[in-house]
């Protein structure tokens, strides 16, 4: 080996070192950003993979990650605790606990809250190692058993309030659910225990749903919820109804079936009623329209104008499944205090192409509110894989599901297809230089060992 080649290999080893062994302040990124497409200056690393049917997630102050895992295909879910034990950015240490799966997860004051389909549990996390100190305590229970929209997403308001989504158990409260021409029930009995958000006290054990305060109604299903500390208000992103065209073909064509109604970002004040199942939001007219199950013809408004408008309407059926207000300083000013939304991807647009399968970003104003008329933008794409949109959700390679902010301002994204977790960093204009040096180091390694080398990650100063 020549001295020059030896020096070059030493430089290569420096680039291969875990982030904590290289220059202070470095981050580790995958050469292909884990398959994602991100804005200029951002990079991503796959920090965990094949966890199962991953749902929402949280990150602790020491960068441990806890992920809710749903039951699927006969496999029991629960919770997964993850830790980087080597400093290379990968979450290589893992512990699993919990008796059954769920979706919602929240973290506060050393306690982990977990939303199973029929109850909410609280675990006290151990101070030194991954996992809980003891058995969980039941905070809320007696939620209805339902085949549709059973996910219990959770939000803490920092003031003792625990908010739980209870979705509607049907598409639109028909007498015969999802059947051609079946009229709606009047009044809709599903509004008694579903299609709303309930507030519980985090310091009380054993609260039944009937003991809680109902904060909002007329929300079909709000898997995505977040507390906005800028205006001290709960926000939720609603899954709009399905099958306008397939159940009412004389009123809606295939294109309208695919493009109606909006997925809605809602500002949820106490006592709010957003009109489900009687009305839906039309993104073209930007107003609420009377549902055909209740006498509407695609244009009738009736009394739907009495229900609040959404803060923002998104394209139909994209399935907003998590919402995060960014409070970090690791991303550029443009992203400060804005809202990230994980769109799980559509299933009700056939025969048209499905949409979604991306993470969007919505800027906010100085008051923390979504600015009226402000356009949303795509932040992370490439989850679905392939050059064409998937025909059905199961054709997508990944489906973004959960969002969490790390203590350093990085953004974590979970996938529900196989259980992949990405960590997204902002590295600015260091990216081209670091990746160019990386490619030089790879070529030197190939010259030395006489074969191709394709490292998975790169250290970015």
Q: Convert the pLDDT of each residue in 449-459 to its tens digit.
A: 543 433 345 54
- The total number of structural domains in the chain stands at 1
pLDDT at 372: 61
Range of the domain at 138: 68-396
Q: Is 80 exceeded by the pLDDT of residue 16?
A: no
**Dist. CA 346–CA 342, nearest whole Å:** 12
The answer to whether the CB of 271 falls within 8 A of the CB of 216 is yes
Banded pLDDT at 352 (limits 50, 70, 90) = confident
330 located within any domain: yes
Q: Is 80 exceeded by the pLDDT of residue 447?
A: no
The answer to whether the CB of 116 falls within 8 A of the CB of 56 is no
pLDDT at 313: 94
Question: For the chain, what percent of residues have pLDDT higher than 90?
Answer: 79
The answer to whether the CB of 223 falls within 8 A of the CB of 256 is no
307 located within any domain: yes
The answer to whether the CB of 259 falls within 8 A of the CB of 316 is yes
Report helix, strand or coil for 31.
coil
Tokens 């009995």: give the residue.
Answer: 189
86 prior amide bond cis, ω within 30 = no
The answer to whether the CB of 412 falls within 8 A of the CB of 403 is yes
**Dist. CA 422–CA 397, nearest whole Å:** 14
451 located within any domain: no
Q: In what order do the strands lie in the sheet with 102-108?
A: 102-108, 111-116, 120-124, 137-141, 207-208
344 located within any domain: yes
Q: Is 60 exceeded by the pLDDT of residue 440?
A: no
16 located within any domain: no
pLDDT tens readout for residues 392-432: 888 899 999 999 999 999 999 999 999 999 999 999 976 44
Catalogue the long-range contacts made by 155-158 (C-beta closer than 8 Å, 24 or more residues apart): 155/106, 155/225, 155/226, 155/227, 155/234, 156/106, 156/108, 156/113, 156/202, 156/227, 157/227, 157/232, 157/234, 158/108, 158/227, 158/229
What's the sign of the alpha-carbon dihedral 174, 304, 308, 215? negative
pLDDT at 373: 60
Residues whose CB falls within 8 Å of the CB of residue 436, separated by 6 or more in sequence, listed in order: none
Question: For the chain, what percent of residues have pLDDT higher than 70?
Answer: 87
Cα first-last separation, the chain: 29
Q: What is the CATH number of the domain that holds 165?
A: 2.120.10
Q: Which of 153, 164, 149, 172 is nearest to 275 (CA)?
A: 172
Q: Can you tell me the mean pLDDT for 148-167?
A: 97
Q: What would the two tokens of residue 450 be?
A: 């006489």
User: Which of 38-52, 173-187, 260-274, 348-362 comes out lowest in average pLDDT?
Assistant: 348-362
pLDDT tens readout for residues 185-215: 999 999 999 999 999 999 999 999 999 999 9
pLDDT tens readout for residues 246-288: 999 999 999 999 999 999 999 999 999 999 999 999 999 999 9
295 located within any domain: yes
Mean pLDDT for all residues in the chain: 89
Q: Can you tell me the mean pLDDT for 302-329?
A: 96
252 located within any domain: yes
Residue that wins the pLDDT comparison between 305 and 351: 305
Q: Are strands 272-273 and 213-217 parallel, antiparallel or unpaired?
A: parallel
47 located within any domain: no
């Amino acid at each position: 080996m020549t001295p020059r080649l030896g020096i070059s290999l030493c430089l290569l080893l420096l680039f291969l070192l875990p982030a904590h062994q290289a220059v202070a302040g470095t981050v580790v990124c995958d050469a292909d950003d884990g398959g994602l497409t991100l804005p200029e200056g951002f990079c991503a690393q796959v920090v965990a993979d094949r966890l199962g049917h991953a749902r929402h997630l949280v990150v602790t102050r020491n960068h441990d990650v806890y992920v809710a895992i749903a039951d699927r295909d006969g496999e029991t879910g629960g919770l997964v605790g993850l830790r980087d034990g080597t400093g290379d950015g990968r979450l290589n240490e893992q512990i699993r606990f919990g008796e059954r799966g769920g979706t919602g997860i929240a973290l506060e004051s050393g306690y982990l809250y977990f939303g199973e389909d029929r109850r909410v549990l609280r675990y006290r996390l151990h101070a030194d190692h991954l996992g809980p100190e003891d058995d969980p305590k039941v905070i809320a229970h007696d939620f209805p058993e339902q085949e549709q929209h059973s996910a219990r997403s959770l939000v803490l308001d920092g003031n003792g309030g625990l908010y739980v989504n209870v979705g509607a158990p049907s598409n639109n409260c028909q007498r015969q659910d999802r059947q051609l021409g079946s009229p709606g029930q009047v009044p809709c009995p599903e509004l008694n225990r579903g299609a709303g958000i309930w507030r519980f006290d985090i310091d009380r054990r054993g609260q039944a749903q009937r003991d809680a305060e109902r904060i909002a109604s007329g929300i079909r299903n709000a898997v995505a919820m977040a507390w906005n500390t800028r205006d001290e208000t709960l926000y939720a992103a609603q899954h709009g109804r399905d099958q306008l065209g397939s159940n009412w073909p004389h009123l809606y064509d295939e294109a309208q079936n695919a493009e109606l109604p909006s997925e809605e970002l809602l500002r949820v004040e106490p006592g709010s009623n957003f009109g489900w199942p009687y009305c839906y939001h039309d993104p073209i007219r930007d107003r609420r329209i009377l549902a055909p199950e209740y006498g509407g013809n695609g244009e009738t408004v009736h009394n739907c104008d009495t229900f609040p408008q959404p803060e923002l309407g998104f394209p139909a059926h994209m399935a907003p499944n998590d919402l995060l207000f960014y409070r970090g300083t690791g991303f550029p000013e443009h992203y400060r205090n804005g809202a990230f939304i994980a769109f799980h991807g559509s299933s009700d647009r056939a025969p048209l192409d499905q949409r979604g399968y991306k993470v969007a970003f919505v800027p906010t104003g100085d008051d923390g509110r979504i600015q009226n008329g402000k356009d949303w933008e795509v932040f992370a794409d490439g989850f679905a894989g392939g050059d064409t949109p998937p025909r059905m959700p199961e054709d997508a390679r990944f489906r973004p599901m959960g969002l969490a902010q790390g203590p350093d301002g990085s953004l974590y994204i979970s996938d529900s297809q196989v259980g992949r977790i990405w960590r997204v960093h902002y590295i600015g204009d260091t990216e081209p230089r670091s990746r160019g040096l990386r490619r030089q180091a790879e070529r030197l390694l190939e010259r030395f060992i006489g074969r191709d080398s394709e490292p998975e990650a790169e250290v970015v100063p």
